[in-house]
Chain A
Amino acid sequence: MTLLAKAVTSSDQPAPISIEEARLNDAKMTALEELIKRHHGQTPVVLRIGTPDSYVTMRLGNGWRVTPSQAFWKEADEWQLQ
């Protein structure tokens, strides 16, 4: 039994961000790049892209690592919805 906050910071699991394929465009990718830069850290990011049939998971490169703080997730949610 551990504190959840501690488990979260010590985990090396990648941070998943989901988006529908139809919503992906250059502007969206640029916004994502900026978001990741703002929260740059050590946790890898996987992008889950929803197609009509299934989800495709892409692991982003090492330069695209983040610190998955609550602020990061809040912005990621907003990015997803914009």
Chain B
Amino acid sequence: MAEFVHLHVHTEYSLLDGAIRLGDLCQRAKDLGMPAVAVTDHGSMFGAVAFYMTAMDMGIKPIIGCEVYVAPGDVDDEEAHLRKDKPGGFHLVLLAKNNTGYKNLIKLVSKGYLEGFHYKPRVTKHWLNKHSEGLIALSACLAGEVPRKLMNEGLDAGVAMAREYEAIFPGNFYLELQHNGIGDQVRLNDLLIQCAEKTGLPLVATNDCHYLTAEDYEAHDTLLCIQTQKTVDDEKRFRMDTNQLYFKTPEEMEEAFAHVPEAIENTQRIAERCNLTIELGNYSFPAYELPEGVSMDEEFERLCREGLQKRIEVAPYEVDEKVYWDRLEYELGVIREMGFPAYFLIVQDFINWAKDNRIPVGPGRGSAAGSIVAWALRITNIDPIPYDLLFERFLNVERVSMPDIDVDFCERRRLEVVRYTAEKYGEDHVAQITTYGTMKAKAVIKDVGRALGLSFAETDRIAKLIPEDPNYLAQLLGVAKAKITVANAAKGVPELRQMAEDDSKVAKLIDISKRLEGMARHASTHAAGVVISEKPMTEYLPLYTGKKGEVVTQYDMKKVEKVGLIKFDFLGLRTMTVIEDCLDIIREQGREAPDLDTLALDDPKTYEIYSTGDTDGVFQVESSGMRKYLRMLKPNCFEDVIAMLALYRPGPLGSGMVDEFIKRKHGEVKVSYPHPSLEETLSPTYGVIVYQEQVMACAMIIGGYSLGQGDLLRRAMGKKIPEEMAKHRVSFVAGAEEKGIPKKTADEIFDLMEQFAAYGFNKSHSAAYALVSYYTAYLKAHFPVEFMAAIMSSEMNNTDKIIMYVNACRDMNIKVNPPNVNSGMARFSVKNGEILFAMAAIKNVGEEAINEIAAERDENGPFTDIFDFCERINLKRVTKRVLESLNKAGAFECFGCTRASIEEDLDRAVALAQKKAKEKDSGMLNMLDMLGGEGAGQPAPGPEPTDVPEWEDREKLSREKEVLGFFLTGHPLLAYKHEMRRLRLNTLMDCKTMPKGMEVKVPVIVPDFKEYITKKGDKMAFCTAEDLTCTGEVTMLPNVYAEAGELLREDRALLVEGKIDSRDEDSEARATPRFWPTA
């Protein structure tokens, strides 16, 4: 066993600073015979629990620490953290000796972020003094406070500072020696040894490890360039002054410190003093406030029973009450037995608060929609009984795990719910959860390429050679399964291999990328996860501040649960915002908005939307592939919509299940059942097993399983574990035989279940999302103008989507008018049955300007002309640039004059308005009024607006596009609308779903293109193409570019004949059509 232990180590969790993976670290320590190893990331504990778990698994003692930043100031200075005159702070290594130390470390690190952040998360000596128990401190590198004093002010100053730290950490402060090849360090080591002799403080040897082996130096150096966004060739960039900050062997360390052997021995002693056990796997629920004298279970049951009674009373269909009450009692029993009433009470509390405060909440998400308790408590809004949604798919007594209720809130107001929980449970009891962005294969190539100074085109070309499809990569490698990694791609993709062989720069790029791939790159706030704790959050884990000032855990989702916190998923679902906005617009029109909670699910007009595939804006069914299947299926009941949502996935589509389902619905294939007893379960899907719940029900009906056991079978089938499957087959067949079903039939049914279980989908989730989809289809069918206005508002920043919806409006004969300063709103609105473009969607027009315009209009009536407008508006808020943008968008057309006239008058109007404002300020106008001068008391006649003919169409459209991002009142291609049919041309939208290599003819305009020079010196171009449906990319190879390059003038209508190149297509809905012209 080695005597040396590394106590100062930066891992990948010192984001973009450390380049050591936790698993590799522990393995290396083990290989080198070290009994323990510490992790001391910069300022944070992001990797602490992950490290603890990894080390424990690998039989290495984990020492959890942190290299904190100490703000200048002495121990009595309570406000040192507030002083922000100097950036950063002094380094100090802290190690947790025990649980108390771990908790103190958590508190210090959290305070550093939440209270002391200035460039870096800083702690103060005052805080260190308060939270020093259980901690060991090392004086750190050259950037530590004691080293700085020694180096800058001499031995005595250093000794004094060392004593200050010793006073904070009595018996636990060590002077840190390093042997790292940095010139100054040699002098510092001498001073530290002298300091130790003067103070009696112990010495300890470390190596401030930032990478694992000496060979990783270059990768780490590149990582620093990625962090600082510089290239390796930049002479002024930040770099380490040494290449020795690697995880040295005990022999190397012992040799380096042969003259101070105690510094090596002390590493071992410190390791022995650090004995931390983190409790993992125990849950503690936040304290839910109960009425006096009432137990948790009693309150839970009361709310469930009252809730179900209300649900039954208002159900718009007939209800067999006994079925409902029996199911409730069963679920209550299971939830009580599992100890989860508190969880349900907490979830229902914030959901009902949101509903009571008119924050739209989705009807359900995931398996929770299968619970009648969730429905009774208004957690979900879908009755599980009519759709055979199963509770056991959600909570299974045979497989105890925490319930997981995901909730969709209106995207805009989601944070209000988070704030509510913080108010209810205490600010220090609620936090959002972090998520780490890692350097994945393509991303790491791009990052490293940039840092190495390769051109964008070169790096992009290499990144694109990394396949997206793991099966394809596996095929190239000749193996059954392969992960998408740089290493695998470099081995399997011939072009990439060749490039690396031919070009040393590419070889280096690949080598460094392999070393850095998969490491954490940055921490950000998870889009949904929120934790609520019983005790203050820092009793469990460290915190930091997110980009928007939110409090975020330093541990990710899985680790948060490991340390015993209960997480809740608060998702933001844009569709809920669309629905609420649509209902608001309907009310604004003086019409009655439908009550979606009691909406009957049999509306023919709604099903017509699905059957015709006219589903722009309809939740989950917008893609062209889905539209195609909807037109074939022609859904006419809610079960069909649920099924289609479950079936439209690669597995079922590839297996032919969807075609079979459609044929059965239309009677083209006879509906049959594997056994007559399965008819009731399988009839909603015409005998096809579509859902996991159906697999569970088959297990129960045929194999005599309980639904809980059926859930285990369903999971086993999904995971395809042969041993488990064999066991299940035996019990399934035995159960069937007991029911008198022959073995052969039972085997066949088992085979069938196994086949379908691979594709089976969670019906509870499908049903809940089908309901959201139905809401949107219903609104589109009955309130099309309001719905389209709402959906466009939700996609205001996505020009492609706006183009798509404006075109959909054209097809629906809904007029979309330009913005209008006299009636327009920030968002898309409805006026006289037509849509009014959103003012906030005009470039350069901010919220402040819109508010100013709306406030003045509401207070003093509509504006009469541009002079009136400029006079009444505060021109500091609505600047000249804003005025120009409004005019280009057509927002002044309400004055009855051309955009050209407004432009002509703009300078005059602004000058006059400013003059009048000046006169008003100086009191001149008041004086004239007072003296009863000519015209006093009456408005002076305003200046006459100029009458200039409108800009030519092309100019008008081009300016419109400049500020809206697209053509609104026309399009250069609109003139060719008929010709598209005559010439049988394709649209860019068509291209999205066409296979690679297919020949197409697409009329487009090319708003932008970039020219590149190939290695051979030829010019080629990458173009952005746009038509009436969406945007795409056209690659003009040198021969085509030479011939047709001169045609690339902005907004000129072109006909591109070419082949589809959809290599980067990752999903149909998001794909950008790419193609290259053949002539």
Contact = CB atoms under 8 A, between A and B. Distances in A.
Given A68-B978, A70-B975, A1 B1056 contact: yes
Contacts of A15: 978, 982
Interface of B: 973, 975-979, 981-984, 1003, 1036, 1040, 1043-1044, 1047, 1052-1057, 1077, 1079
Contact of B1055 (A3, A13, A14, A73): A3
A58 interface: no
A20 to B, nearest CB: 17
Nearest to A11: B983
A7 B1036 CA distance: 19
User: Main secondary structure on chain A at its contact with chain B?
Assistant: mixed
B983 A13 contact: yes
A1 B1047 contact: yes
B1077 A8 contact: no
A70 B1077 CA distance: 27
A77 to B, nearest CB: 8
Contact of A4 (B981, B1036, B1053, B1079): B1053
Interface string A11-45: 10111100000000000000000000000000000
Contacts of B1077: 1
Interface of A: 1-5, 7-8, 11, 13-16, 68, 70, 73, 76
Given A14-B982, A76-B978, 8 more contacts: A1-B1043, A1-B1055, A2-B1047, A2-B1055, A3-B1052, A4-B1054, A4-B1055, A13-B982
A63 to B, nearest CB: 20
Given A8-B976, A70-B975, A2 B1054 contact: yes
Nearest to B1052: A3
Nearest to B1049: A3
Contacts of A2: 1044, 1047, 1054-1055, 1057
Contacts, number: 53
Contacts of B1054: 1-4
A76 B982 CA distance: 14
A5 B1052 CA distance: 10
A75 to B, nearest CB: 11
B1054 to A, nearest CB: 6
Contacts of B1044: 1-2
A68 B976 contact: no
A4 B1053 CA distance: 5
Nearest to B1041: A1
Which among A3, A4, A70, A76 has the greatest number of chain B C-beta atoms within 10 A?
A: A4
Nearest to A1: B1044
A76 B983 CA distance: 17
A7 B1056 CA distance: 10
A7 B982 contact: no
13 contacts: A1-B1036, A1-B1040, A1-B1043, A1-B1079, A2-B1044, A2-B1055, A3-B1047, A3-B1054, A13-B983, A16-B978, A16-B981, A16-B982, A76-B978
A68 B979 contact: yes
Given A15-B978, A68-B978, A7 B1047 contact: no
Contacts of A7: 983, 1055
Nearest 5 pairs of A and B residues by beta carbon: A4-B1053, A1-B1044, A7-B1055, A73-B978, A4-B1055
Given A11-B983, A68-B978, A68-B979, A4 B1047 contact: no
A55 to B, nearest CB: 12
A40 B162 CA distance: 101
Given A1-B1055, A3-B1053, A13 B984 contact: yes
Contacts of A4: 973, 976, 979, 1003, 1053-1055
A11 B982 CA distance: 9
A17 to B, nearest CB: 9
A75 B632 CA distance: 36
